[in-house]
Amino acid sequence: MKKRLIDVFRLILPFGRSRRSMIKRLSQYVGKRELSDIKYLSKLRKIGFHEEQFGARICPDTSWVQLDLATEEERVADFVKRINRKVADAAKLDAFRLFRKDALAKISGIVAPNIVGMQDAKQAAALLLFAQEAFHVLLLGDPGTGKTEILRSSERLAPHAIFGLGSGASKAGLVGVYEGKEFNPGLLVEADEGLACIDELNLMKKEDRAGLYSAMEKGFVTYDKKGKHEKFKARIRVLASANPKGDKFVGKDVKFLRAQLPFDDALLSRFHLVFLIRKPKGKELEKITRKIVRNDVREIEDGDARFVKEYSEYALKLNVAFDDKYESMIVDFIEQLKKEEKNLLVEIGPRTVIGVIRVAKAFARVRLSRNTNADDVEQAMKLVKEALTVAE
């Protein structure tokens, strides 16, 4: 009897300012009946409220209200779980829609934040987070230029990524190995439907590359050993780094630079974007010097990493269509590239075309669009040309 009287008294009392504010914020995401139930349960002190947020610098002021369970009643627990999921999903979607306009610039800006320059390579790494189909990027250049930091940042920001060293990537390390009846997956199998970050790819033995070829091109690897013949999914995007022969590029002549590439065409041609990275000089070196002197060291914030992971997870659910009305744009672009091929780092072929289309679709997906537009195609062509052109 006493409990009933207390409940009646609680139902009569008005909400305090804090609870009124929380309920008002919830009202934009729940129905009238749900809101009525929230008010009722709140007055009976069966639920409370708290605020959650990404804590992201790249998307500030993003927060939403969640319910706290203050009873052991199963029915109330189920209600709280359902409302919390509904509100969080809707609030995050609002945040994503606000973020999408400048999404690529903001995400690129936190890729290897301590590395000065290399904006095209950073943008390519950011786009990899939004690629559904096989799309591979190679950072090829001098040691000490920040290639590894770009890989490590991408691993941190991707919803699913595996990092490995080319020097330690044997065939077993890439594909996997059986220990008794149990299969222990290698890097490529573990990275299925995600990002495979491979540092110092040039140190991978040539005889161990078969699995990598298959994963990059076909999306699976095979295991053939001790009477076992199996196929494992390895639907990956590769972000790799490599040093040239002799460890450092020498000269500027394209033909001479090609002779210093550490890979044959069989592997090199599987990368849709190949960036040649040289030691910084001039203004760029000056910026780096000032940054070091000022001890201007930045790290990826936990909130930013969490936000980008969830944003890209959401974006990757979108199936992006490529309109064939852009066919003539791409045909003209490829024809022009072919004419300039002697001045480019790699040969132009069908994979270049595929690369343009997949990069364009990633540009569309990063802004949460289901369709590519002319700007996506223009940006994709620009990035592909920047990647393949050897800077003076």
CA distance 236 to 135: 8
Kindly report the number of other CB atoms within 10 A of residue 146's CB atom.
22
> What pLDDT was estimated at residue 139?
94
Contact residues for 210 (Cβ-Cβ < 8 A; gap 6+): 171
CA distance 272 to 364: 18
> What pLDDT was estimated at residue 120?
93
**Domains (range + CATH), the chain:** 2-100 (no CATH), 110-388 (3.40.50.300)
pTM reported for the whole predicted model? 0.88
Helices 350-366, 327-339: inter-axial angle, 10-degree rounding: 130
Ordered per-residue pLDDT tens for the chain, 392 residues: 555 545 544 555 556 788 889 889 999 999 999 999 998 888 888 889 999 988 889 988 789 999 999 899 999 999 999 999 999 999 999 999 999 999 999 999 999 988 888 899 999 999 999 999 999 999 998 888 889 999 999 999 999 999 998 877 666 678 887 777 788 888 999 999 999 999 999 888 888 888 888 999 999 988 777 667 788 899 999 999 999 887 788 877 788 888 888 888 888 889 999 998 877 665 655 465 455 445 555 788 999 999 999 999 999 999 999 998 999 999 999 999 999 888 888 889 899 999 999 999 999 999 999 999 999 999 999 999 999 887 65
Kindly report the number of other CB atoms within 10 A of residue 180's CB atom.
5
> What pLDDT was estimated at residue 389?
83
Structure tokens at 250: 């020498």
Query: C-alpha distances in angstroms, 2 versus 7, 42, 107?
Result: 9, 19, 58
CA distance 114 to 84: 37
